[in-house]
Amino acid sequence: MSDVPPRVSLRFPRSARIVRGGDYQRIIKHGVRITDGVLVIWAVANGLPHARLGLVVGRKHGNAPRRNRVKRLIREAFRLSRHNLPPGIDLVCAPAGSAETLETRPLTLQCCRESLEALATKAARRTPARPDGSVST
């Protein structure tokens, strides 16, 4: 055997995304809300063997190019940290604060990764498993 560790896929497949509007509503309404000053996360168990990500970045975070940059940073943080996140959890992420906050303390990939990993771990501990074992895809 080889001492080389197995390769970890760093892709962001469709199965790792929350795409339905109904799923967003369910997660925000029934999920656990946690924040740390960088990100706000709503989390709920999904019954899948992996975590899924959804993004919410409203107009208060700036114009379209700025909002798209924020979404790219959070998406990239999730993609790179996906294998470190707890399995079986749906996460809806939004930047904490407003456009002015992002001006004075800009988001970086590193701070997004650290925040996402810490908040997802905390949320997984506070999120009960789905009692019926159902999965929302």
User: pLDDT for 7-55, tens place per residue?
Assistant: 667 787 788 889 888 999 999 999 999 999 899 999 999 888 989 999 9
Phi first, then psi, for residue 34 (nearest 5°) are: -135, 140
45 bridge partner residues: 89
Q: Strand locations in the chain, DSSP E?
A: 32-35, 39-45, 52-55, 89-95
CATH label of the domain that carries residue 108: 3.30.230.10
> What pLDDT sits at residue 133?
46
> Which of the two residues, 89 and 128, has the higher pLDDT score?
89
How far CA 7 is from CA of 71, 83, 95, 98, 125, in Å, comes to 26, 11, 31, 38, 28
| Structural domain boundaries, residue 76 | 16-126
Q: How many domains is the chain built from?
A: 1
> What pLDDT sits at residue 137?
46
Whether residue 23 is contained in a domain is answered as yes
**Cα gap 80→22, rounded to integer Å:** 27
Model pLDDT for residues 42-92, shown as the tens digit of each residue: 999 988 898 999 999 999 888 999 999 999 999 999 999 998 999 999 999
> What pLDDT sits at residue 5?
54
Model pLDDT for residues 97-125, shown as the tens digit of each residue: 876 766 777 889 999 999 999 999 999 99
Whether residue 6 is contained in a domain is answered as no
